[in-house]
Structure 1
Amino acid sequence: MKKETKGNLFIGLAFAVMLVLYYSSSQSYEDQSMTGLLDRWLANEPLKEFLSPIQFTYAGSEVSIHAQGYSAFVEFFIRKAAHFGSYFLLASFWLLGLKEKMTSLPLTAVLSWLLAVGYASFDEFHQSLTPDRTPLPQDIVLDSVGAATGLAICLIFIYATKKKRKKRKRK
C-alpha cells in the first residue's frame, strides 16, 4: 500500500474515532449505563474482597464499592478505560496519518497530541449540552494521558523501524 494511501486511511480512522466519540457524547448517562448488564454478568461480585479496599476521589466524588455499589464501581473503570483507549487511538491515528505529510516527526507528534486534546476539550463541552451528562476537566486530563501514551508507543515503533532499516542498508 502506498504511503499516501496508508496515511489517508489513518486520517479516516481518526475521523471515525471522532464520530464515535461525538455520538457517545450525545447520549445521556442513562442511555450508556452498563450497570444493569454488569449486575447480571457480575451477580456473584467476583473479586469484591480484592476491590473493596480501593477508594479514591475523582472529580469531587468518592469512587468505591461502598459509595457506588459493585456494578457502578466496575463501570467507572470501564468508562475511564474507554476514555484512555479512545484518545490513545485518536492521537495514534493522527500521527500515523500525518507523519508522511509533514517534514518533522516531532512536530507531527505535537500536532497529533494537540488535535486529540483539542477534541477531548470539545467533547467535554459537547457533553455539557447533553442532558444528564457532566463535563469533567479530569476526563480531559485522562484523555491527554491516553493520547500521549499512544504517541509515545507509536514513536518508539517508528524510530525502532527506522533503525532496523538503516542497519539493513549498511549490510
Structure 2
Amino acid sequence: MSDILKRKEKWFWGLVVAIEAVLFYSSSMTYKQQTSVPFLEKYLKNEPFKNNISNIGFHYGGKYQSLKNDGYYHFVEFFVRKGAHFSIYLLLGVCLCLALYSYFKGNNFLRMFIPWLVTTGLAAFDEFHQGLTGGRTPLVDDVILDSAGALTGIIILMSVLYVINHFRKHNKKSL
C-alpha cells in the first residue's frame, strides 16, 4: 500500500496546495462577498424544516446561535458555513495524511499526528489571515472545528487503509 501512495504523493501534495489556495482566497473575502443568504432566500422561500430547527440553540464564537436570534436564513447559513469548515479541513487532513504517509513507515501514530498537527496549524493561520480581512472575525472555535474535521478525516482514512492492508495480508497468506 505504501508503494502505491508513494507513487501518487505528488498528486496529494497538489491537492493540498489547491485546497490551501481555495482557503486563502476564501478567507480574503469579506462576509458580504461570500454570504449565501441571498441564495437561500431565493431557493428556500418556504423555509423548509423551520419547525424542526426552531428549538435548536447553542453557544458558538461567543454568541448564542438560534433561529430566534439569527433568523431563518442566517441560522441555516451558519450550518452551511460550519459544515464547509469541517468538510474542507476533513479533506485537507486526508490529503496531507496521504502526502506524508510514506515518510513515517511503520509509525501509524506519526502518520496520523503530524498531518493533524499541520492541518490544525494551517487552520490557525487561516483564521489569523481572516482577521486581517475587513468584516471578518477570527474564531478559536473555528480552529477547533477545523481541527476536528481534519482528525475525523485522518481517522477514517487510516481505518480504511488498515482494513485494506489487513485484507491484502490475509489474501497473500491464503495463496
- Which residue does 2:72 correspond to in 1? 70
d(CA) in 1 for partners of 2:103, 2:65? 44
Instruction: Give every structure 1 segment of 4 or more consecutive aligned residues whose post-TM-superposition deviation is greater than 6 Å.
Output: none
TM-score by length of 2: 0.94
d(CA) in 1 for partners of 2:75, 2:50? 10
- Which residue does 2:95 correspond to in 1? 93
- Which residue does 1:169 correspond to in 2? 172
**Contact between 2:5 and 2:101, CA under 8 Å: does it hold in 1?**
no
**Contact between 2:15 and 2:95, CA under 8 Å: does it hold in 1?**
yes
- Which residue does 2:33 correspond to in 1? 31
* Aligned residues between the structures: 171
d(CA) in 1 for partners of 2:4, 2:56? 49
1:56–1:46: structure 2 CA closer, same or farther, 3 Å change rule?
same
**How big is each residue's C-alpha offset from its partner over 1:78-111, in whole Å with a ceiling of 9 and x where there is no partner?**
0000110011001100111111233233212111
Q: CA deviation at 1:32?
A: 0.5
The SS at the match of 2:137 is: coil
TM-score by length of 1: 0.96
Q: CA deviation at 1:47?
A: 0.9
Q: CA RMSD in A?
A: 1.3
Mean CA deviation greater in 19-28 or 92-101: 92-101
- Which residue does 2:86 correspond to in 1? 84
- Which residue does 2:121 correspond to in 1? 118
- Which residue does 2:11 correspond to in 1? 9
d(CA) in 2 for partners of 1:167, 1:2? 18
d(CA) in 2 for partners of 1:107, 1:58? 31
d(CA) in 1 for partners of 2:115, 2:94? 8
- The share of aligned pairs that are identical, in percent, is 42
Q: Is 1:132 paired with 2:135?
A: yes
- Which residue does 1:61 correspond to in 2? 63
